[in-house]
Copies of this chain bind each other. A is one copy, B any other.
Amino acid sequence: MQAEIITIGDEILIGQIVDTNSAWMSKELNAIGISVNRITSISDTKEAIVTSVEEAMSRVDLILITGGLGPTNDDITKKTLSDYFACELVQDDQLYGKIEERLARYKIGMNAFNREQALIPHGARIIPNHFGTAPCMWFSRDNKHVISMPGVPFEMKNIMQTELLTRLSSEFHCPHVLHQTVMVQGLGESVLAEMLQDWEANLPSVVKLAYLPSPGVVRLRMSLVGDDEAELKAIIKQQLEALKAILGERIFAFDDEKIEQVIANLLLDKKKTVSTAESCTGGNMAHMLTAMAGCSAYFKGAVVAYSNEVKGNVLGVNPNDLEEFGAVSQQVVEQMATGACKVIGSDYAIATSGIAGPDGGTDAKPVGTVWIAVASAEKVISEKFIFSKERGRNIRMASQAGFNMLRKLILNE
């Protein structure tokens, strides 16, 4: 099964936003055995929409579209596709009610824009959008399928994950595609590739391997396509065992799980709590933990100690040590971690102190130098890292490394 993606919006063509929807959709479609052979970004004009849809329909049977479904005048996708597929736009009372209710929460009445949002094309299949007002519309003609979704990433993702991907899988005959992700922490891509050289050379040809690096983490992905699902699963199992033997503790998850989710599960399992004391990571670890629903069960709080006064006054770091060893030191980061456990009242704490850059580096402590400590009631473990020259990357890598140190501390207790 082959598909094409069309993303609509002048903001893409003038470079104001990067189209991240396509990559996400391609990955998800590939995972259910639908390959994407072209991605096209076009402007919000009727002509561009009709032309590109017609062209795509001449090449493939399935076209997924995002964008141009907002309530304002520049959004013309619904009208254009409904005209093209000769579907009359009619009011959907349920959608009307939902929009009305939504607006009522903000004490706003319906206006003409909102009333237009409640129109849906008669004859198209409609998949609800739980996070917004623009529904997903599935138009079909002569076994060609054109599916239009909102361009807002989290709305599109929710529509695909909750309903569309399942419907696509069942509607079209797709071969079995299995993906197995292995999350590896603390190794660069090329070092990892070297460690896996022999293993990779002996992989069965049905296994396609990809290295997907992000700051501090490499996702290894094995992809297998075939008709015999049991056979594919057996191959994955065997290769996972081989990988575990080579990488050991460096593997922190076997799915696309984030390291903070691994931490959350460990803490929930042991009924323990954590706090963070962050200098160079600036609250990013707290933000990563609190981005997860239900985090109040294991996360108590954080102190972002950007200035030395906060390190001293709030976390109780000894001012003499700050003076003698500097803020970026083993002594200070360990006191930050034990101080956080005490001040915040948590079982564990992670502390970071480093030079995120771009300025502030010295010969002895260049940009990218980060001390990280993890503390429990019994012990404190600290480690010095030298990450990169780029600020955002240093913040992300230090956060990842801090969580990884806590993971090892908990697992080895």
Contacts and interface: CB of A to CB of B under 8 A. Distances in A.
A89 interface: no
B37 A13 contact: yes
B287 A284 contact: yes
Contact of A15 (B25, B189, B193): B25
A361 interface: no
A345 to B, nearest CB: 6
B16 A36 contact: no
A268 interface: no
A14 B41 contact: no
A304 B282 contact: no
A73 interface: yes
A40 B38 contact: yes
Interface residues of A, number: 110
A340 to B, nearest CB: 10
Interface stretch (A80-88, A231-239, A318-326, A391-399): A391-399
Nearest to A26: B15
A193 B284 contact: no
A291 B48 CA distance: 39
Contact of A386 (B105, B190, B301, B307): B105
A151 to B, nearest CB: 10
B11 A39 contact: no
B291 A300 contact: no
A27 B23 contact: no
A70 to B, nearest CB: 6
This chain: how many copies in the complex? 2
Interface in A325-362: 343-345, 356-359
A355 B363 CA distance: 46
Interface in A205-252: 208-213, 219, 221, 223
A286 B282 contact: yes
A190 B113 CA distance: 7
Given A19-B22, A38-B42, A283-B286, A74 B304 contact: no
A154 B393 contact: yes
Interface string A283-309: 111110111011110011111111101
A282 B293 contact: no
A152 B215 CA distance: 10
A164 to B, nearest CB: 16
Contacts of A306: 290, 295-296, 299-302
A114 B20 CA distance: 34
A22 to B, nearest CB: 7
A18 interface: yes
Contacts of A293: 357-359, 391
B256 A154 contact: no
A142 to B, nearest CB: 22
Contacts of A208: 10, 74
A210 B16 contact: yes
B74 A179 contact: no
A411 interface: no
Interface of A: 10-20, 22-28, 30, 35-44, 48, 52, 55, 70-74, 105-106, 108, 111, 113-114, 117, 131, 152, 154, 179, 181, 188-191, 193-194, 200, 208-213, 219, 221, 223, 256, 276, 278, 281-287, 289-291, 293-296, 299-307, 309-310, 313-314, 343-345, 356-359, 386, 388-393, 395
6 contacts: A14-B223, A19-B22, A38-B48, A276-B283, A281-B290, A282-B287
